[in-house]
Structure 1
Amino acid sequence: MELSVVVVNYNVRYFLEQCLVSVFAAIKGIEGEVWVVDNASTDGSVEMVKLKFPQVKLISNQTNLGFSKANNQAIKLAKGRYTLLLNPDTVVQEDTFRECINFMDTHPDAGGLTVKMIDGKGRYLPESKRGFPSPWASFCKIFGLTSLFPKSKLFAHYYLGHLDKNATHEIEIMPGAFMFLRSEVLKQVGLLDEQFFMYGEDIDLSYRILQHGYKNYYYPKCQIIHYKGESTKKGSLNYVIVFYKAMILFAQKHFSKQKQNHFVTMIKLAVAIRATASIIKRLIIKVWLPVTDFALMFLGAYLLIPWWEQFRHGVTNIYPRDILYALIGFYLLTWIMSLWLYGAYDKPQNLKSGAKGILYGTIAILVVYSILPQNFRFSRAIILILSAWSSLSITLNRILASTFIEGLLKWNARKKSVCFIGTASELKGSEELLIQAGFHRNNITHLLPEEVLDEHQRAKKEIIADAIKYKNISEIIFGTEGIPMTSIIHAMMYLSEFDIDFKIALHGGDSIVGSSSVEAQGELYTLEVIPLAKPVARRQKRIFDILSSALIIVLFPILWIFLVKPLMVFKSALQVFKGEKTWIGYNHPNISKQNSVLKPSVYLYSKWGKGLTSTVGLDFYYAQHFSITLEVSELIRNIFKTQD
């Protein structure tokens, strides 16, 4: 057997699906096998592989064993002359495997090979080729000298920045995202060191290959997409700590005692600095909006109440200050809670979230105000004036904050112009997802494969570039029915100068996948994110579950005669209250399995009154139209004796 491809997956189902589609296109004509090792994913990855890729040799772990151990599980069973360790958040060209095999066959000194990687915006990833992380190289990387001098042999050795990214080179370290290895070399040097749970195992293995007299190569004739950040949040504090712990482990394993001590000291200093900076930054970003919102609303109350007293009554301090201060505190806290409930502190957010939070908070305040004793009811006008001030101030606050809080605002998708490059049938299948995601049909430009591909299946990049310029395109989506991955990747690299987003819609798939930056976790258009997976919807659903189940439990002695299966309802209310279940959920079994957002449901969302027949269509309706009103009506209809 020529090739064994090993993919370790953890909770990136849609990226794994895209990866496997590209892998099977690239393995055609090659005697090979594909292994997927799943590390206890909860997003339906295992079910997806079984359903859509029955030819995959699947290992399904019940716990997360880590990257090294999971890879080793498959490597021990693999039969290929070559073994490829591949990340699930990658896309390979159709000729990638054949080119790599040819290179390795003609370079018997090669122990391993890696290729040129681009991110989800078509930009070259410097970690495609890496140098040995010596204390000096690591110092330059940790303290930013590598970024300041990206092409310096002295300062950028960590990424071998002095070497031409478009030429083949001998390198020291291969990235774990794509390691094309000679299997007999693996037997000689040993498998991945399982001391490395995640990160550092690629450095360790690459180093051991060199120690055994073989060479590692960077081969840019092949390019792959590496979305980078889907499997792990590389900007997180946890990443910093885990990665540098791996560096310390590597140093302890391979450096001399003196060199090791210097390296470990430097790493610990770097971790302390990075961790402290990360904690401070996260804390500031986390509290910035609620603190400044509260301060701006308080400022409004401080300035506007005396103005209103003077305007309305011709004198200030007419309202008793002790009671007034208590009421103002209640108003401000209600608005802050309402803003939180409606997503005004989530990332990314729409400016409408703030306005909605103030609106519903104001309604709640007015309801409470109406039942207060007479001596607590001074003026509804103050509530309305402060609500208008609050709505304006928090909107301006978010616009200003978005300049330093990356990804804070998500501008209206309906205003974005999208170019879909694919067949008419692909567009028809993807159009529903795009509209569900908020895009307007009039803002979707369509180009057929024959319009943008020449006779050699290469992208006519000038045609796409013209569409970007003249139709103000901000995002390109490639269909895969008539466009090879090779053409898609080449087009992305060519068009990266336009700084637009790219996504790929798998032919026959139910998702559109992409990533807008190296740091981003990626963007995904599919049922699970429209909009039930959003934090605001989950929060509202959970609060509804708590309040409704608590009400049922408390009032059960009165309600039981009106309930359908009262004991079952009471037991379910206890489970819902504890967070073990949710009242309403999806019908379709695949969607239920794939969706890790919703807890197991007591009742399935019904087609009652909706005129919908298929369960998938019904679930789309539920995901798209989720609201508390809908939850209330469904719960009442299910638990009380009102069914038709």
Structure 2
Amino acid sequence: MKLSVVILNYNVRYFLELCLLSVQKSISNLDAEIIVVDNNSTDDSCDMVKANFPKVILIENKDNSGFSKGNNSGVAIAKGDFVCILNPDTVVPENAFTELLKFADNQTNLGMVGCQLIDGTGAFLPESKRNIPTPNVALKKIFGNGNAYYSSLNPNEIGNVDILVGAFMLLKTEVYNEVGGFDEDYFMYGEDIDLSYKILKKGYQNYYYGNLSVIHFKGESTLKDKVYAKRFYGAMRLFYKKHFKSNVIMNALVNVGIKMASFAPQNNSASEIETTQTVIVSNAKNNNLEKQLQQPIFYVETTETIQHQSTIVLDARFLSFQKIINLMQKQKNISNSIFRIWPEGRNFILGSDSANARGEVIKF
């Protein structure tokens, strides 16, 4: 088998469903499998997978064992030569895996491959490609230089990079196992930095493939609250202890910076964009959806004429996932507009307008 896609889920049932629909299309021409590891969700995620995706391998954990342990359990049963670690709040284009696997097969010293991630507004996520967060650059970030971590590669470029993000990581299964997979000392956050760095230390090369874009709604799995702050900065403290423990003075300074940052105010508010109309990019009307939207409704087959302050609903029956991603990137600068995706054959639309809060699901 060529590929195993491992998706760790926790209480994001509708985002998971959209993710699985996109992954199914992306592996349609590959010898591949999908493994969903559920960390004891309290919603109906597991029932949804069983009912709608019978070919998906489902691991139902009885507790929330964290990101590292959950993903490791999925990779442990993976049959693919390659494994992709994928967040459930992502949408991949139809060509994602064929293109990345072709690229990977042509590299001689492959560690991991990542791609360009965009958020629910179509904006580039700079954590898609990062430098090693040495104590020096971490201090710069903590004390105000927000770009200290980020690679000098342009978003659309292809090249070597140090650190990739756990929302999307493609690598050989044997490399994953060689470095011990995700370090289970990390519960959530930091484990992707640790894995990337362990792979570099083994002499492999990580790559950023900017020609391919994937949606990562982000707010679903990365809520910026006090719990997030404690876990994230605690994870970074663990990273420095494991990999830079010989630098005692710098570690002490990093710990001071981490403590200061943990008291910094966090922005938990969702985007409050108020739209005045809904534009549905589709060639078919739906009366039930119209009743839920409670705005003037316009159907179009192109986004070229969409005005400001619009809720833009992208019909995945009418548009490919590749086209949806392209449209979001192209139209992201439409003032005070938001995007929602309507999965094919489903009675809900969803989207996310902020990395700091949960996205929106509208059922009809």
Listed as ranges, the matches of 1:347-386 within 5 Å are none
Amino acid across the alignment from 1:255:
F
**Retained in 2: the 8 A contact 1:127–1:175?**
yes
CA distance in 2, matches of 1:75, 1:251: 26
Query: In structure 1, what is the Cα distance between the partners aligned to 2:150 and 2:326?
Result: 23
Change (3 A) 1:406 1:74: closer
User: How is 1:405-424 mapped onto 2 (pairs within 5 angstroms)?
Assistant: 416-424=276-284
Matched, 1:490 2:326: yes
Aligned to 1:515: 352
Deviations 1:413-454 (A, max 9, x none): xx7211101231xx31xx4245235x23xx111013xxx3xx
Q: Which amino acid is 2:297 matched to?
A: I
Q: State the shift of 1:254 in Å.
A: 1.0
Distance 1:510 1:60 in 2: 26
Q: CA deviation at 1:144?
A: 1.8
Check 1:14–1:260 CA distance in 2 against 1; reply closer, same or farther (3 A cut).
Answer: farther
Q: Secondary structure at the match of 1:11?
A: coil
Q: Which amino acid aligns with 1:476?
A: I
Please say if 1:26 is aligned against 2:17: no
> Partner of 2:7 in structure 1?
7
Q: Which residue of 2 aligns with 1:273?
A: 260
CA contact (8 A) 1:199 1:242 kept: yes
Query: Which residue is equivalent to 1:250?
Result: 239
- Residues 76/134 of structure 1: CA separation in 2 closer, same or farther (3 Å cut): same
| 1:474 and 2:310 are equivalent in the alignment | yes
Pair 526,270 (structure 1): closer, same or farther in 2 beyond 3 Å: farther
Aligned to 1:231, what secondary structure does the other structure show?
coil
The answer as to whether partners of 2:3 and 2:81 remain within 8 angstroms in 1 is yes
Q: One-letter code of the match for 2:322? A: T
Q: Report the residue type matching 2:262 in the other structure.
A: A
Query: What is the DSSP-based 3-state SS (H/G/I as helix, E as strand, rest coil) of the residue aligned with 1:230?
Result: coil
Cα deviation for residue 508 of structure 1 reads 1.2
CA contact (8 A) 2:270 2:358 kept: no
**Alignment-derived partner of residue 226 in structure 1:** 216
Deviates more, 1:30-39 or 1:188-197: 188-197
User: Which secondary structure state, in structure 2, belongs to the residue aligned with residue 466 of structure 1?
Assistant: coil
Correspondence for 1:116: 116
Once residues 268 and 47 of structure 1 are traced to their aligned partners in structure 2, the CA distance between those partners, rounded to angstroms, is 43
1:503 is matched with which residue?
Answer: 340
Q: 1:262 aligns with which of 223, 227, 250?
A: 250
* CA deviation profile, 1:117-150 (whole Å, cap 9, x unmatched): 111010111001011010111112112212xxxx
AA aligned to 1:85 is: I
The worse-fitting range, judged by mean Cα deviation, of 72-81 and 514-523 is: 514-523
Three-state SS of the structure 1 residue aligned to 2:332 is helix
**What is the rounded CA distance, in whole Å, between the counterparts of 2:2 and 2:98 in structure 1?**
10
Divergent runs of 4+, >6 A: none
- Mark the runs of 5 or more structure 1 residues left unpaired by the alignment: 147-155, 283-404, 453-463, 528-644
After TM superposition, give the deviation of residue 165 of structure 1 in Å. 1.5
- 1:476, CA displacement in angstroms? 0.6
Once the two structures are superposed, residues 515-554 of structure 1 have per-residue CA deviations (whole angstroms, 9 ceiling, x without a partner) of: 1123232111126xxxxxxxxxxxxxxxxxxxxxxxxxxx
* Residue type of the alignment partner of 2:340: K
* Counterpart residue type for residue 268 of structure 1: N
| 2:250 counterpart letter in structure 1 | H
> Deviation at 1:473?
4.7
Q: Which amino acid aligns with 2:163?
A: I
Distance 1:271 1:515, change over 3 A: same
2:211 pairs with 1:211: no
Aligned residue type for 1:505: W
Judge conservation of contact 1:113–1:218 (CA < 8 Å) in 2: yes
Quote the offset at 1:108 in angstroms.
Answer: 2.3
In structure 2, give the amino acid aligned to 1:269.
V
Match of 1:445 among 272, 286, 298: 298
Higher alpha-carbon Rg: 1
Whole-angstrom distance in 2 between the partners of 1:2 and 1:408: 40
Larger RCO (alpha carbons 8 Å, 6+ apart): 2
| Other-structure match for 2:292 | 436
Give the Å deviation of 1:410. Answer: 7.5
User: What SS is found at the alignment partner of 1:169?
Assistant: strand
Structure 2 letter corresponding to 1:250 = F
Higher helix share: 1
Normalised by the length of structure 1, the TM-score is 0.54
Contact 1:167 1:220 in 2 (8 A): yes
Tell me which amino acid in the other structure corresponds to 2:256: L
TM-score (norm 2): 0.95
Distance 2:161 2:272 in 1: 41
Alpha-carbon offset, residue 507 of structure 1 = 1.4
Q: Deviations over 1:271-329 (max 9, x none)?
A: 43233332xx78xxxxxxxxxxxxxxxxxxxxxxxxxxxxxxxxxxxxxxxxxxxxxxx
Residues 479 and 505, structure 1, Cα contact 8 Å, conserved in 2: yes
Q: Secondary structure at the match of 2:166?
A: coil
Over residues 466-518 of structure 1, what are the superposed CA-to-partner deviations in whole Å (9 max), with x where a residue is unaligned? Answer: 232xxx45221111112110011011101111142111011111211101123
CA distances 1:551-579 after superposition (whole Å, capped 9, x unpaired): xxxxxxxxxxxxxxxxxxxxxxxxxxxxx
The amino acid across from 1:519 in the alignment is N
Contact preservation (8 Å) 1:26, 1:92: yes
1:52 aligns with 2:52: yes
Cα distance, 1:277–1:207 mapped onto 2, change above 3 Å: closer
Unaligned runs of 5+ in 2: none
Q: Is the 8 A contact 2:271 2:354 kept in 1?
A: no
Classify 1:408/1:209 alpha carbon distance in 2 versus 1 (closer, same or farther; 3 Å).
closer
1:106 correspondence with 2:120 = no
Q: By how many angstroms is 1:102 displaced?
A: 0.2
User: 1:407 offset after TM fit, Å?
Assistant: 5.1
CA RMSD of aligned residues (A): 1.9
> In the alignment, residue 435 of structure 1 is paired with which amino acid?
K
Q: Aligned with 1:103: secondary structure?
A: helix
Label 1:48 to 1:126 Cα distance change in 2 as closer, same or farther (>3 A).
same
Assess if the C-alpha contact under 8 Å between 1:172 and 1:206 holds in 2. Answer: yes
SS in 2 for 1:145: coil
Amino acid at match of 2:24: F
Separation (CA, whole Å) in 1 of partners of 2:269 and 2:282: 32
Give 1:29 deviation, angstroms: 0.8
Per the alignment, residue 62 of structure 1 pairs with 62
CA distance in 2, matches of 1:504, 1:30: 25
Q: Distance in 2 between matches of 1:50 and 1:508?
A: 17
Matched-pair contact (CA < 8 Å) for 1:112–1:181: yes
Q: Identify, as 1 or 2, the structure richer in strand.
A: 2
Q: Partner of 1:465: helix, strand, or coil? A: coil
How many equivalent residue pairs? 363
| C-alpha contact 1:83 1:182 (8 A) present in aligned 2 | yes
Q: Distance in 1 between matches of 2:315 and 2:149?
A: 37
